[in-house]
Amino acid sequence: MKKLQGRTALVTGASRGIGRGICEALAGEGADLVMVARGQDALQRVAGDLQAKGSRALAVVADVTVESQVCAAFAQAIQRFSRLDLLVNNAGVSDGGPLEEITVETWDKVMAANLRGPFLCTREAFRIMKPAGGGRIINIGSLAAKRVRPHTAAYSTSKHGLWGLTQVSALEGRQFGISCGCIFPGNTLVEKNKNRPEPMMTVDQLVQVVVAMASLPAHINMLEAVVLPVGQPYLGRG
């Protein structure tokens, strides 16, 4: 039997990059998918590809920063699959620049996508998972929460905040059988990193860790995992 057979996962930022890779990997292990993203065309293409391979995938167009849209997405998940076993908070943005040049609009945009979105989704997941007796939440953070780079004030701050949300979620969820962990990816070969002259890992390589975390026995939690190419500057950096 596949590792996630019979389970339902909701993944945000599901239409491209790491989010798409997560959906493909979870589907490959038998999970039913609720795929959430803002871009309808790209989202439908990914869902169609998975459905063509025999997976059950529901595409939900929603902005995770908008409370009403998040609530509606989770309601559709329950209407379609009657359960939610796994939430992967992956959606996010990485706008930045020199600290003194960052506008309030840019700051608020990053905080909304990288913190408000995971909060809203986690809150809805708790409301479903508590009565059901448990579930698992995986937050996709960033190495920027551990070691910062220049010109990443908003992004690094938001990912530090996501780590705080992870810990509170794990603490408040444990008596209800809800676990929460955070993955801190290093350099991953997505569109924005194609020209970065540093070692890279592929999305397929990274998402193996997501599958490993999602597949753990219900009473085991991987609270955090730093995943990076061996040659990437990290230890001793900053």
Residues taking part in catalysis = 155
Find the distance separating the first CA and the last CA of the chain, reported in whole Å.
Answer: 45
Sign of CA dihedral 5, 202, 19, 206: positive
Nearest by Cα to 201 from 182, 185, 183: 185
d(CA 201, CA 100): 32
Nearest to 213 by CA among 43, 26, 23: 26
Q: Residue 34 burial by CB count (10 A; 0-12/13-18/19+): exposed, middle or buried?
A: buried
